[in-house]
Structure 1
Amino acid sequence: MVKIEVLGTGCAKCHRLYANAEQAVKDLKIAGEVVKVEDIDAIVDRGVMMTPALLINGEVRAEGRVPDVDEIKRMLTV
């Protein structure tokens, strides 16, 4: 099962990234869990300095931008 974390404080970009991640999981029909992390301390603990950020299985894959659904799908299949 893939764990996808969307890190951000709840801004519009964070919500868009969360929606894109959910759509990518749905399109690929994979077992994945998409979670939001809004706690600043938890975000900093993961080494992220710019939000929104996308982590896949604990690895930072995007920071300070919103990858589209197709880019997230590529990240999940590599």
Structure 2
Amino acid sequence: MHIKILGPGCRNCEALERETRAALDQLGVQASIEKVTAYPDIAAYGVMSTPGLVVDEDVLVYGRVPRRDEIAQLLSP
């Protein structure tokens, strides 16, 4: 599983990364996490409001920081 956190590095982007890592730990799932901070790269996903959560090139959430349990549900195998 390859996860991308879309955002310029703001507080919400950091919170999304933190909650995503916690959800992965909770699930016992291995994944690589990449930060995408360049606006043209973020916009290429159709995301105009950050942060964004992309899993295996599918945009799952953007414009808000979902709760850890919601992230865990999205990442469940």
Correspondence for 1:73: 72
Deviation at 1:77, TM superposition (A): 1.3
Task: Report the Cα offset of residue 3 of structure 1.
Answer: 1.0
* Structure 1 unaligned blocks of 5 or more: none
Please report the RMSD computed on the Cα atoms of aligned residues, expressed in angstroms: 1.0
- Give aligned-pair identity as a percent: 35
Q: What is the match of residue 40 of structure 1?
A: 39
CA distance in 1, matches of 2:11, 2:57: 23
Residue of structure 1 in register with 2:49 after alignment: 50
Verify the 8 A CA contact 1:4 1:21 in the aligned structure 2.
Answer: no
With normalisation by structure 1, the TM-score equals 0.91
State the distance in 1 between where 2:69 and 2:34 align: 19
Deviation string, structure 1 residues 2-57 (Cα, Å, up to 9, x no partner):
11111001110000001011111111111211111111111011111110111111
CA contact (8 A) 1:8 1:14 kept: yes
Instruction: Tell me the residue number matched to 1:30.
Output: 29
Q: Distance in 1 between matches of 2:67 and 2:35?
A: 17
Question: Which sections of structure 2, spanning at least 5 residues, go unmatched?
Answer: none
Contact 1:21-1:34 within 8 A present in 2 as well: no
Equivalent position amino acid for 1:63 in 2: Y
Q: Which runs of 4+ in 1 moved over 3 A?
A: none
